[in-house]
Structure 1
Amino acid sequence: MAEIVGGVGCSHVPAVGAALDNGKSGNEVWKPYFDTLPPAREWIEEKKPDVCIVVYNDHASAFSMQLIPTFTLGVAPEFQPADEGFGPRKVPTVEGDPDLAWHLAESLILDEFDMTIANEMDVDHGLTVPLSVMFGQPENWPTKVIPLAVNVVQFPPPTGHRCYMLGKALRRAIDSYPGAERVVVFGTGGMSHQLQGERAGLVNSEWDSQFMDNLVSNPAEQAQVPHVEYLREAGTEGVELVMWLIMRGAMNDSVEEVYRSIYVPTSNTSNGLIVLDNA
């Protein structure tokens, strides 16, 4: 059967992609951040996943106020980088895995999760930046990718508990797949940040660190945290962190923390990364 060989929690700060795309990753502003990435990249190179399931949120690239699905699973053979206003990122086309994706869709829907199925969907920085964080700038992405988009832009987003339960259903779906694929699940977004209003620029590194601690040791407790606490402590966009709970729900109850980092000066977003192995 298919096997989950690890989990990654990763911010998807668009400025990270811009720094890579414009050759600025080695300058005095960006080098300290990119110097934190080699341990995570070495880990994923050792794991050699066949497929990465990337849980992310769309930023009005594939969806808009006209269509706001809560959970969307991409089942296409490929996904193009989205034009977010400055032209698409010059990164490889994302190769999908339709066979596994359709299996996941069937299993999740029969497991009573109402998934929207996308046969065509451009993917924005929410998905491509985490791939760049973990894989750098390859000519082709070294793994197939199944996008799982979550609405955390327009209220009401799904609760942390619903996301955690979706992760557990995702695990059951992967465990029931007859292939031998090695799978890494990404939960992306956050960490603390607010992009507008009186608290624009908010960063709460202490809360972010506690979130990571809970993600490792007390995920069921973290899953009970209401939206209002994310908004109060981590800012209006900090609610993206519920997507990390999908990744964590797909892992074993007990996990081993392989690596973590939190780096702030890259932008007005607390930029977090955590790598987990199943214990």
Structure 2
Amino acid sequence: MSEVVGGIFTSHVPGIGGAITKGLQHDPYWKPFFDGFGPIHAFLQREKPDVAVVFYNDHGLNFFLDKMPTFAVGAAPDYRHEDEGWGIAFDRPMPGYPDLSWHIIESIVNDEFDPVTCQTMTVDHAVAVPFELAWPDGDFPVKLVPVAINTVQHPLPSPKRCYDLGKAVGRALESWDRDEKIVIFGTGGLSHQLEGGRAGHINVDYDKFCLRNLAPDPEALLQHDTLDIVELAGSQGVEILNWIAARGALRGSVRELASNYHVPISNTAAATVLLENREKVRA
């Protein structure tokens, strides 16, 4: 039966991909961030997940301002990385898992969500960078189920709606009856803004509030509405919605195994958190 082993939460700044490509992992500017992945590598080596369900935001690759779904789930047989030019360049597609994708889609529709279903889909740095960080040898041993959340075009979904989506995905995974291990990813953030008068905005207090509460009290992150988060964390800091949804998908009792916070990386507060599903929820 299926087993959700835990969650990996990480920034997906495209500049990280550039640093990997240039071999800058031990450069003083980058090293404090990359050092945070040691526990994640050990966790993945120990657990050896078969599937990664990734909550992320698309950066105009599949969806643009004229057509922006609130939620979208990939149901493609594979996902080619076709970034907008900032991230890692690799030509091999990531294998998909249509059977599980459709199981999730059908389950969350029954839970009153209405996702866009994508039988063809490409992915950008929001998926590629976390995968390269998690499996630095470039061999991705998991099948991918991507869940895209709108963090770009208003109106944005509320934190509670994203948390509830994550819980609905978690219920779908609990009812998946194949003998597989599943790891959850939440990617993006933390606080940053790339444009306007507040370009470069970083809110360490808000970031640490999120890091402090993610494992023991995720509902604390729901006290701010989406516009509050934009004010607190910056226009791109609203990517915390991806983390909130991913945390919702971890339905067992969790514990934090590792947390890392580094400021700045490319005008971004970069963070990494590893949560273990202590009860190892099984279908």
Is TM more than 0.5 here?
Answer: yes
Amino acid of the structure 2 residue aligned with 1:61: L
Change in Cα spacing, 1:39 to 1:92, as seen in structure 2 (3 Å) is farther
Q: Which residue of 2 aligns with 1:115?
A: 115
Would you say the 8 A contact 2:15–2:87 is kept in 1? Answer: no
CA pair 217-259 structure 1, distance change in 2 beyond 3 A: same
Matched residue, 2:71? 71
| TM-fit CA distance, 1:26 | 3.1
Which residue of the partner structure matches residue 228 of structure 1? 227
Question: How many angstroms does 1:88 deviate by?
Answer: 6.7
Letter of the aligned partner of 2:226 in structure 1?
Answer: H
Is the Cα contact below 8 Å between 1:82 and 1:88 reproduced in 2?
A: no
TM-score, structure 1 length as denominator? 0.95
- Alpha carbons 1:2, 1:183 under 8 Å: kept: yes
* Contact persistence 1:53–1:183 (CA under 8 A): yes
Equivalent in the alignment of 1:207: 206
Is the contact between residue 92 and residue 141 of structure 1 (CA under 8 Å) also seen in structure 2?
Answer: no
Q: CA shift at 1:252, angstroms?
A: 2.9
Aligned to 2:246: 247
* Structure 1 residues 47-196: aligned runs within 5 Å: 47-85=47-85, 89-90=89-90, 92-138=92-138, 140-196=139-195
Kindly provide the amino acid, as one letter, of the partner of residue 209 in structure 2. Q
How far residue 253 of structure 1 moved from its aligned partner, in angstroms, is 5.5
Which AA in structure 2 matches 1:70? T
**Alpha-carbon deviations, 1:77-127, whole Å to 9, x = none?**
100001414697226421111111111111111111101110111100011
Flag the 1:36–1:219 CA change in 2: closer, same or farther, 3 A. closer
Distance across 2 between alignment mates of 1:240 and 1:167: 14
Q: Deviations for 1:14-70, whole angstroms, at most 9, x for unmatched residues?
A: 110111123332333323322222111111221111000011001011111231111
Structure 2: gaps of 5 or more residues: 279-283
Partner in structure 2 of residue 271 of structure 1: 270
Secondary structure class of the residue paired with 2:214:
helix
Contact 1:73 1:117 in 2 (8 A): yes
Hey, what's the Cα distance between the residues in 2 that align with 1:87 and 1:210? 29
Aligned 8 A contact 2:33 2:271 in 1: no
* Mean Cα deviation higher: 197-206 or 86-95: 86-95
- Measured after TM superposition, the shift of residue 254 of structure 1 is 3.2
Instruction: Provide the alpha-carbon RMSD of the alignment.
Output: 1.6
TM-score by length of 2: 0.93
Residue by residue over 1:172-215, the C-alpha shift from the partner in whole angstroms, topping out at 9 and shown as x without a partner, is 11111111111111111110001011111111122101111121
In structure 2, the CA distance between the partners of 1:37 and 1:91, relative to structure 1 (3 Å rule), is farther
Aligned partner letter, 2:60: A
What is residue 261 of structure 1 aligned with on the other side? 260
Larger mean Cα displacement after TM superposition, 217-226 or 178-187 = 217-226
Q: In the comparison of the two structures, how many residue pairs are matched?
A: 278
Deviates more, 1:114-123 or 1:228-237: 228-237
Q: Is the 8 A contact 1:7 1:247 kept in 2?
A: yes
